[in-house]
Amino acid sequence: MCLYELFRLEECLVAHLYEKYVDRLDEPLEPRHWAAMLKDYLAEKDNDSNMKIIRESFSYTHALDISDDNIIHYLLTKFDNEVELTVFFHKFLMIAIIQSKVRSDIKIIRRLVKEDAVEPLPSGVVNRIRNNAVLNRLFRDALGMVAEKTGARKKWKWSHVKKVLEDDKYIEKLGQKEFGRLINGIFPDIDGETVRQSVKNNPIEGGKYHYWELPATNASRLLLIDIGEEFEELRKAME
């Protein structure tokens, strides 16, 4: 698909945007207009398998990626001719364009990231995640978002994070000091000893059970479930 086709598709989206989402023709387009359009497209319930696979691979935090494992599998098994493939790429680009308008830091055209360019993860992370570029990225990104919400004077403690990562088998069973080193190995600005102390000082009652199996009365259960949901994309990619 050439750049000319890309620009034509963007022109069509702009025309539709003014027709449905913008009050006046002289009103400048803003990210909120594109966001409204994107939300509607992603929320549509239809039998279009092309849109279904795109929705399943979409994330508000990462650029829509044609090399996503689910999309590659879909492309290899679904299409019998070039026409069907072109229809899929138009729909894929449509969502990618809108996403790039919502998030200025996400680009449609970008260099492919080679797998060997992915930063290695510490040995405490399970091999399946360490050795797969897509899972590596999803794990890093999700853990990064969790780390921002974890620590002193925050509801989430490193003991909560450790339990979720171990229960969901993203990392091996680790001692407190080993876990601190693992977090510091991924995020050097987070002190490993601080993480160790946090785990030590915030024990989880009923910790021998998987966090989903903890009773509703357990004070940590909802916190652990909330942390686990941050890794939803990773979990789906590993299924």
What mean pLDDT value characterizes the chain?
87
Domain locations in the chain as residue ranges: 3-102, 117-238
Each residue's pLDDT tens digit, 37-72: 999 888 877 778 888 889 888 887 788 888 888 888
| b (16+ CB within 10 A) / e for 117-147 | ebeebeebbbeebbebebbbbbbbbbbeebb
Question: Above pLDDT 70, what percent of the chain?
Answer: 92
Query: What would the two tokens of residue 178 be?
Result: 């080993």
pLDDT score recorded for residue 113: 47
Q: What is the pLDDT of residues 29-45, one digit of tens each?
A: 888 899 999 998 888 77
CB atoms near residue 226 (< 10 Å):
15
Average pLDDT over residues 154-164: 96
pLDDT digits (tens, 9 = 90+) for 60-119: 778 888 888 888 888 888 887 888 888 898 899 999 999 988 887 777 755 444 444 567
